[in-house]
Structure 1
Amino acid sequence: MAHHVSRSSVSKIFPEASWQRIVFSEFESTLTSSSRPFPCVFGVTGLRKDQLRFAFPDPLTPESLAPLLADYVANAREFGRMTSLVVFGRPGPVQPLGDYQSRFWSLLDGLERLDAAPRPASIPRELDTDHWEFCFGGEPIFVVCNTPAHVLRQSRRSTSFMMTFQPRWVFEGIMDTDSPAANRALDQVRRRLHAFDAVPPSPQLGHYGAPGNREYQQYFLDEENQAAGCPFHQLGRSHDDNTTQKKGKVA
């Protein structure tokens, strides 16, 4: 089974010309650039402090990703306050942005179907609510998707299909409220986005739990600042019933 690894382990495990090293090197260069600061201060700090973990499942499927994510969630607090799990897929020909979006949501849906842990009682199953968040292994997790099809929104671009899983507790006391400190943190991210992207920051970016905020709209951002859609009313099967019927789609 594939494992998640630390920053220093990538160069020890994967040969220099491997696709794993190539996509990781691009990621590392982007986050460590001093001339063009990356907007996500959490990711930058996590990389600098060696708190991020990386995985390269091939093929990237719910079945290959689920055990990696389960192990990460179980040990994440040991990695540090700014940890995230960054998952890279094998590079291939560039697809339309909508194809990557469909792949992203299918992966999350598949993960929820494989998750044996109870969903936290405080997190609703319905996506179209203020407090919904993707959950796995009993932990709420903020998820970000980067793709090769993102051109204008460079902050969401990667040579390969890439997913970042950030435990909700990483944001506690920083960006999970509408406090002055949280607003300053979000303003800093937006200022960096203005300088980094060729499109204005998405109007969907907001604080978890704030009235009208929708976390799922922030997971996969388009190039034109349109409200992001999700093909699911809720992800996965309910753990509260025994049905195997797929949930209805959002109208």
Structure 2
Amino acid sequence: MSTLYKDSPADRNNLNDWQKTVLQKFETKMIDKTSLFPCIPATIGFSTNQLRYGFIGDPGKQSTISDLAKLLKKYTEKSKDFGPYTSLIVFYQLPEEAKRIYTVEKYEQLFWQQLSLLTYLDEKKWPGSIPIEPHLPIWEYCFHGERYFMYCATPAHKNRQSRNFETMMLAITPRWVLENFNKADIPAAKIKKRVRERIKNYDSIEIHPDLNTYGEEDNYEWKQYFLRDDKTRLAKCPFHHIFQGEDIKRQLPFDKFQESDIR
């Protein structure tokens, strides 16, 4: 389940029923003209077919981490061929029981576990220009030498429809995409204002206070990756960079562990 898909008739023919369903629901969210999705770069990327998609399994299984690492590596190596508004959209296949009982906080835990465990499988060193500790304004998530903005949506989000989706979903956007977007003809300040207006119309709750601009002294990227469904926030970032040779067993949420399942 580590294949990169472009949304084309040929690719859709290769998808199973679950994959076709979640992709169709994502499309519905992106093209809705009565309720405009807030992230303008994402809607441009979708309309110009520059997004790429991946489908992986249960976030509580070991094999899913490996599939996510393979997907993100492939995407990183080819992303600049996909266009200036590209992102990788990753859909998790959640068990039906999980959809019924998982809270926003449970998804938050799973999200940060995924990001931490990915670092163990990263074949490249963390970029020297980016600190490993997330408690600095210039920190952002990195994988395979690329800097990324991470976004997570879940079925448990209700007030923040901008963070709601049928299943647990990641939208992974290279930093260079956002930098290019901010250099466009429309000034960044106007874009930020338009995005915030869309969020106000899209969600039934006020904009989360953690939404900010990368590089600002009072901005912390990690706080924006996963927004709760209210105004509460984590006091400390759960991300932990797992280095080669570190005891990964204690990092895993799984009952049984075999390193061969991860590597």
- TM-score where L is the length of structure 2: 0.85
Counterpart in the other structure of 1:102: 109
Which residue of structure 1 aligns with residue 89 of structure 2?
A: 86
What is aligned with 2:38?
A: 39
Match of 1:223 among 223, 229, 235: 229
Tell me the alpha carbon deviations over residues 107-154 of structure 1, each in whole angstroms, 9 at most, x when there is no partner.
001101110201111111111110110100000100000000000100
Q: CA–CA distance in 2 between the matches of 1:27 and 1:229?
A: 32
Q: Is the 8 A contact 2:119 2:241 kept in 1?
A: yes
Match of 2:211 in 1: 205
- Secondary structure in 1 matching 2:155: coil
1:204-235 C-alpha deviation (Å, 9 max, x unpaired)? 11111100101000000011122345553x52
Change (3 A) 1:44 1:71: same
Q: By how many angstroms is 1:174 displaced?
A: 3.8
CA distance in 2, matches of 1:169, 1:244: 33
Unaligned segments of structure 1, at least 5 residues:
none
Aligned partner of 1:145 among 152, 163, 169: 152
Residue 237 of structure 1 corresponds to 242
1:125 pairs, out of 120, 123, 132, with: 132
**4+ aligned runs moved over 6 Å, structure 1:** none
Amino acid at match of 2:170: M
Q: 1:219 and 1:73 mapped to 2: Cα distance? A: 19
Q: Decide which structure has greater helix share.
A: 2
**Relative to 1, partners in 2 of residues 1:230 and 1:54: Cα closer, same or farther, differing over 3 Å?**
farther
Q: Is the 8 A contact 2:159 2:203 kept in 1?
A: yes
**Secondary structure at the residue paired with 1:202?**
coil
1:49 counterpart = 2:56? no
TM-score (norm 1): 0.89
What are the equivalent positions in structure 2 for 1:183-202 lying under 5 Å apart?
A: 183-202=189-208
Deviation at 1:244, TM superposition (A): 4.1
Alpha-carbon separation, structure 2, partners of 1:156 and 1:44? 15
In the alignment, what sits opposite 1:14? 15
Letter in 1 for 2:108: Q
CA distance in 2 between counterparts of 1:174 and 1:48 reads: 15
Show structure 2 runs of 5+ residues with no match.
252-263
Structure 1, residues 88-122: CA drift from partner, whole Å, max 9, x if none?
A: 01142321111111110000011011102011111
CA distance, structure 2, for counterparts of residue 200 and residue 187 of structure 1: 15
CA distance in 1, matches of 2:134, 2:84: 27
> What residue in structure 1 maps to residue 79 of structure 2?
76
Match of 2:258 in 1: none
CA RMSD of aligned residues (A): 2.0
